[in-house]
């Protein structure tokens, strides 16, 4: 195993700046999948489970969503919430049982609400409830992508090391070009965040600056 004294951020920058790094590239049509941008994960002033990597994350997400709607391409939002019993969290909900534990994001609770700073058009956008890390797992996301003849999946939200990674791996496994705008994903600690961006970039996705994603969208009609 290779050893390094560099930080996770430094290793990520080395990977991103490598001119030999080949990209999957954009396809012909994309879906925007915004993962779990709910208060339990975005409101650092309210919940210990929340995190912020780029303070403009939600602004960028709104801008991307606006571009997708202009193109009449699908915009998807996922959220997690569980029964009072927590049984629908399955084995994932058994490690801890505190007010901040996953299974205690209850239906109808503030933790489960989307962040108020988001622009979500509920009569136009698609909203999926999910229980597990991947946005594909036991949701209708795959069917939606087939219906819209999508070949590219663009992911935002969090956490980078959890649900973003899980969805990216499954997206690639299902044959989709997968794009992660760097400023649009977040995690609890920079080590988790950048080490997973590195791994995603090397294996499963193109990790790009949001400006590059917006530029590509701006060229589409």
In angstroms, the Cα distances linking 153 to 1, 27, 46, 86, 174 are 32, 9, 31, 30, 11
Strands 177-181 and 75-80: unpaired
CATH 3.30.465.10, applies to 27-219: no
Q: Which of 8, 163, 168, 197 is catalytic?
A: 163
Burial call 60-72: b when 16+ CB within 10 Å, e when fewer: bbebbbebbbeee
What are 38-50's pLDDT values in tens digits?
A: 999 999 999 999 9
**For residue 35, which of 177, 134, 145 has the smallest C-alpha distance?**
134
The whole-model pTM stands at 0.97
Q: Which residues of 84-107 are buried (b: 16+ CB within 10 A; e: fewer)?
A: eebeebeeebeeeeeeebbbbbee
Each residue of 12-43: pLDDT tens digit?
A: 999 999 988 899 999 999 999 999 999 999 99
Tens of pLDDT, residue by residue over 114-152, are 999 999 999 999 999 999 999 999 999 999 999 999 999
State how far the Cα of 79 lies from the Cα of 84, in Å rounded to an integer. Answer: 16
Please indicate whether residue 163 is annotated as part of the active site. yes
């Amino acid at each position: 195993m290779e050893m390094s004294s560099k930080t996770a951020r430094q290793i990520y920058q080395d990977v991103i700046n490598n001119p030999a790094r080949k990209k999957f590239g954009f396809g012909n049509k994309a879906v925007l999948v915004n993962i779990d941008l709910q208060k339990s994960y975005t409101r650092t002033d309210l919940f210990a489970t929340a995190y912020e990597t780029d303070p403009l994350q939600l602004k960028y997400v709104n801008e991307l969503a606006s571009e997708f709607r202009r193109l009449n391409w699908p915009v998807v939002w996922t959220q997690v919430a569980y029964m009072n019993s927590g049984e629908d969290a399955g084995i994932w909900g058994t490690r801890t049982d505190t007010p901040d534990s996953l299974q205690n994001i209850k239906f109808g609770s503030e933790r489960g609400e989307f962040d108020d700073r988001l622009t979500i058009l509920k009569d136009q956008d698609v909203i999926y409830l999910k229980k597990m890390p991947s946005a594909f797992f036991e949701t209708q996301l795959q069917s939606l992508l087939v219906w819209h003849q999508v070949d590219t999946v663009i992911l935002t939200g969090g956490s980078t090391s959890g649900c973003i990674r899980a969805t990216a791996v499954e997206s690639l496994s299902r044959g989709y070009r997968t794009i992660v705008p760097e400023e649009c994903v977040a995690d609890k600690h920079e080590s988790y965040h950048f080490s997973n961006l590195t791994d995603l970039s090397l294996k499963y996705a193109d990790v790009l600056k949001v400006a590059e994603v917006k530029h590509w969208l701006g060229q589409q009609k």
